Amino acid sequence: MFLTDAPLVERRQVARDMWVLGFAAPDIAASVKAGQFVNIGMRPGPLLRRPFSVYRAGDDRIEVLLKAVGVGTAQMLAMREGDVASCLGPLGRGFDLTLSAKTVSLVSGGLGVAPMPLAARDARAAGLQVTWVHGARTADELCSETEGDEVILATDDGSAGFAGTVVAAAPDADLVLACGPNRMRAPKALSTSPRTSTGRRCRLTCPMP
Ligand X SMILES: Cc1cc2nc3c(=O)[nH]c(=O)nc-3n(C[C@H](O)[C@H](O)[C@H](O)COP(=O)(O)OP(=O)(O)OC[C@H]3O[C@@H](n4cnc5c(N)ncnc54)[C@H](O)[C@@H]3O)c2cc1C
Q: Rule CB under 6 A: which residues touch ligand X? A: 37, 46, 50-53, 64-67, 69-73, 111, 114, 207, 209
Task: State in angstroms the smallest separation of the CB of 111 from ligand X.
Answer: 5
Tell me the residue number closest to ligand X, measured at CB.
Answer: 70
Question: CB-wise, 72 or 135, nearer to ligand X?
Answer: 72
Q: Measure the CA–CA gap between 177 and 114, rounded to whole angstroms.
A: 12
Question: CB-wise, 113 or 173, nearer to ligand X?
Answer: 113
* H-helix or E-strand spanning residue 119: helix 116-125
Q: Answer yes or no: are the C-beta atoms of 40 and 50 closer than 8 Å.
A: yes
Q: In sequence order, what are the residues at sequence separation of 6 or more whose Cβ sits closer than 8 angstroms to the Cβ of residue 96?
A: 204
Other C-beta atoms lying within 10 Å of the C-beta of residue 127: 9
Question: CB-wise, 71 or 125, nearer to ligand X?
Answer: 71
Reference 65, options 205, 209, 166; nearest CA is 209
Question: CB-wise, 7 or 51, nearer to ligand X?
Answer: 51
Task: State in angstroms the smallest separation of the CB of 68 from ligand X.
Answer: 7
